[in-house]
């Protein structure tokens, strides 16, 4: 077999992996990308939709932590406060009730830090952004299963990016210039190809390191 035929066969194998791995994992990446984009705006969206997060700033000190803890504990008898989070002076204080293991739960009580007024008692397992975060991290699967699925997809995506770089690599010196730029005046089919190839090349260097890091982090 000649060297050119060998290279052609290798390219076809790489194209096959690049195509089918991309199709197989595309839905996962779409879900992760969409949920990640939504969650990135969580502070701004929460402030707009959850009015109990905001209080009127007052020129006096907050109530003692022990008092806020006691007020919150009365809202959820039988549950133990695990942490208290303070934000800005115009934000509610959040008292979290978290239990892991058997019979887990996650509740939060939102208080006015100046008066101790209970603004909201909420089951955080049903909260919208927690739902979005579970989708981003575990695809709404049980955590142990979701972690493996997401980490596997991160590894697959790394293979997709590396195979894309191999396919992108110019065959000869004359092709290098076109490999770095998009032909905006080309046909729609060629324009779509250039957008995929060129933008994919520029994004690949960041994506390889990021998804390797994410795979290690999830596992």
Whether 133 is in a domain gets the answer: no
Q: Is the pLDDT of residue 135 over 70?
A: yes
For 28-80, write each residue's pLDDT tens digit: 888 988 999 999 999 889 888 999 999 999 999 999 999 999 999 999 999 99
> Which residues neighbour 102 within 8 Å (Cβ) at sequence distance 6 or greater?
none
The candidate with the shortest Cα–Cα distance to 110, out of 138, 142, 82, 75, is: 75
* pLDDT interval class at 24 (50, 70, 90): confident
The single-letter DSSP state of residue 62 is P
Residue ending a domain, among 72, 91, 126, is: 126
Residue 63: what pLDDT?
96
The candidate with the shortest Cα–Cα distance to 151, out of 213, 103, 78, is: 213
Number of domains in the chain: 2
User: Do 149 and 180 fall into the same domain?
Assistant: yes
Residue 218: what pLDDT?
55
User: Do 184 and 206 fall into the same domain?
Assistant: yes
Residue ending a domain, among 100, 126, 152, is: 126
Whether 188 is in a domain gets the answer: yes
Three-class SS state of 105: strand
Token duo for residue 205: 């260097």
Task: Give the range of the structural domain holding residue 81, as residue numbers without chain letter.
Answer: 51-126
Residue ending a domain, among 78, 95, 126, is: 126
Whether 131 is in a domain gets the answer: no
Three-class SS state of 65: helix
Q: Is the pLDDT of residue 4 over 60?
A: no
Whether 167 is in a domain gets the answer: yes
How many whole angstroms separate alpha carbon 52 and alpha carbon 71? 16
The candidate with the shortest Cα–Cα distance to 201, out of 177, 169, 157, 174, is: 169
User: How far does Cα 98 stand from its chain's mean position?
Assistant: 22
> Which is higher by pLDDT, 98 or 194?
98
For residue 70, the tally of other CB atoms under 10 A from its CB is 14
Phi first, then psi: what are they for 99, rounded to 5°?
A: -135, 130
């Amino acid at each position: 077999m000649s060297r050119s035929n060998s290279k052609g066969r290798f390219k076809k194998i790489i194209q096959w992996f690049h195509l089918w791995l991309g199709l197989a994992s595309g839905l996962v990446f779409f879900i992760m990308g969409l949920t990640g984009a939504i969650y990135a705006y969580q502070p701004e969206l929460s402030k707009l939709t959850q009015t109990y997060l905001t209080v009127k700033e007052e020129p006096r000190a907050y109530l003692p932590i022990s008092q806020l803890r006691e007020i919150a504990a009365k809202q959820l008898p039988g549950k133990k406060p695990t942490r208290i989070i303070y934000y800005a002076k115009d934000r509610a204080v959040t008292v979290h009730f978290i239990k892991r293991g058997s019979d887990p739960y996650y509740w939060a009580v939102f208080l006015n830090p100046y008066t101790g007024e209970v603004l909201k008692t909420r089951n955080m397992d049903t909260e919208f952004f927690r739902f979005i975060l579970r989708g981003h991290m575990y695809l709404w699967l049980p955590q142990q299963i979701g972690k493996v699925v997401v980490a596997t997809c991160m590894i697959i995506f790394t293979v997709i990016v590396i195979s894309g770089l191999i396919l992108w690599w110019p065959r000869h010196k004359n092709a290098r210039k076109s490999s770095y730029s998009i032909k905006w005046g080309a046909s729609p089919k060629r324009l779509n190809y250039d957008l995929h190839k060129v933008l994919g090349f520029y994004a690949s260097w960041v994506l390889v390191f990021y998804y390797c890091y994410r795979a290690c982090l999830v596992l």
